[in-house]
Structure 1
Amino acid sequence: MSRGSSSVAVTLTKSLVFALATVLAMAALATTISNGTTTSGRTFTALFTDATSLNKGDDVRMAGVKIGTVQSIGLRHNDTAEVVFSASESAPMVKGTRAELRFRNLIGQRYIALEPGSPGGEALPSGYTFSLDETRPALDLTMLFNGFQPLFKFLDPEDVNNLSAQIIAVFQGEGATVESLLSSTASLTSTLADRDQVIGDLITNLNSVLEVVSQRTGMLDTTLVTLQRLVSGLAADRKTLGSTIEGMGELSESVTGLLQEGRQPLRRSIDSLGDLSENLAENDEALTEFLTTMPQKTDEIGRLATYGGWLNFYICSIDGRIPRPEGYYGDIGVDSPAGRCR
């Protein structure tokens, strides 16, 4: 074989080896990107309250090792996500295993993490369905960030804005470095340290309040129970209370009409009372004498009526005039000589 033929053969051999290696590398890369698995394994179903961002083909892992993939995602009863996934035969799927959704990376991709149950437990059959009590959705970052709002109130808004901008820049890959993010985090931590006294006082006061509440637990329970009974009683008697309020309204209207009708007579009575007061003021001496002698007179009158329902009188003298036909009025009279009349 000539030297030229040998060179062509060597070049052809190297080209074939390079092409084969390239094809194998591309196949491996495609398998990795597509989240594929070479084992069919068993099939299980998991129910989640929230399966947002979980897609078909995502990983199913146990102890950090990929053991299967997500086969399909559907909806059950309009309020529950139904996820069907595969798992290899070698994976220890036993009773007590929990299926949890976790974040795969910072851009929101997720995977199913299987937390194995007790070793030696009863094996789960293929097609087993994990109920809502055996699953847990991914962490709600919105709820997590909202939980930091009371803390953010004590922070400098400028530091918070800088930290937020650095985090967004890192997520978007727009030139921010991890060092600047750590620097902003350090500044935020320093601010928290500066407010250590305020946070400490807040926690101390809160502990005092909780201690007082704890000591008054019985009284608080009694108050709440009594208040609940009161509210329940008022709710049960709402018709009676409504009728009572309506009756009070009608009574108010009646009293108003009565006052309007009696206003003029009452005014005249008050005016007459004024005249009576003036008369009494002008004759105060006679009134004083009458009130002074009234007890003695009532005693004497009382003695006259002690014999029964009548009054006894003893006449000491009597005078009179009798007219005569001629028009002369003669005087008549008699005087008693009794000692009581002297």
Structure 2
Amino acid sequence: MSAVKLFDAKTFQDFWKLIIFVIVTTLATGLLAITIGNVTFGRSDEYKAVFTDVTGVNKGDDVRIAGVKVGSVKGIEISDDAHSAVVTFTVDSAQQIATTTEATIKYRNLIGQRYLALTNQLVGDASAMQEGQTIPVGQTHPALDLTVLFNGFKPLFKALSPNDVNTLSYEIVQVFQGEGGTLESLLSHTASLTSTLAEKDQIINALVDNLTEVLEHVGDREKELSSLIVTFRDFVGGLNKDREAILGSLDQISALSVETADLVHETKDPLLDDLRQARRFSDEVAKDKRQLDDALELQPIKLDKIGATATYGGWFNFYLCGLRGTIRDRDGKDLDIPIYKPGQARCNLG
């Protein structure tokens, strides 16, 4: 019985590729985690600092010296007197902290993140601080109160676009925290602000000038304006006096509308039938248009003749102008015989 091979050459090769892929992925993930978490593997010393206000400071925030991260915040707790807070932080052992070092909480960005800034004051007889020592409250500074700061600039911010407000706010924070170096950047944004206000000032001046002209025209028409106001007041007063009659008429109009709607609904079918018959009549008249024209043309002549018979009063006089008869003889022939034939004078009146 032959032995069964558990792995052939291709399967073995794929297995090693999978192992290498897992190792590389794990290393890359770990490196990314170290980079994002600012994890350091060097030896560090632990210190404490007492602050009157540590609002916004969280565990893991940076500890920086001259803007370079040298450690992180490890914890925050209330002091024994309950009037201050103790911040525990670590610093790389390579960095020497003096007993005169000052600690300041600063804004990392405008969304509220903070960091702890250390300023070494190696002057005079300052000695190195031992691990575990505490920076007293006299050498610490809480974060800048942005609410109070920005409230002072609130009237100016109304004249800026949101983008300019964000930029100027960041520059203000940097300057007041001592990180701006100079006021050059702040002044440049302030100059932009001044230009913006100047442009709007021109618009406001133009608006005031136009409003002044309007008011002058209104002043020239003072009598007409007063008369208009008085007339309008009287009109409103009249409406107020007659409000009951107006409201009553509105009720009557509403009732009339209802009755009219009912009447139209009842007469709708007969009215439509009349319209159809009228159209039918007009079609028939259009067919005999020539005969109608002839009848209308002869109608005046006939009316004149009829009127001639009533010239002696409110009655009609009829005269026999002729009478003819037909007699049939024994042979079946018809003979026309004039029975009566008066004079022609009265028969020719027409």
Report if TM-score (shorter chain) is over 0.5.
Answer: no
Asked which structure has the greater CA Rg, the reply is: 2
- TM-score category of the 2 structures, normalised to the smaller one: 0.3 to 0.5
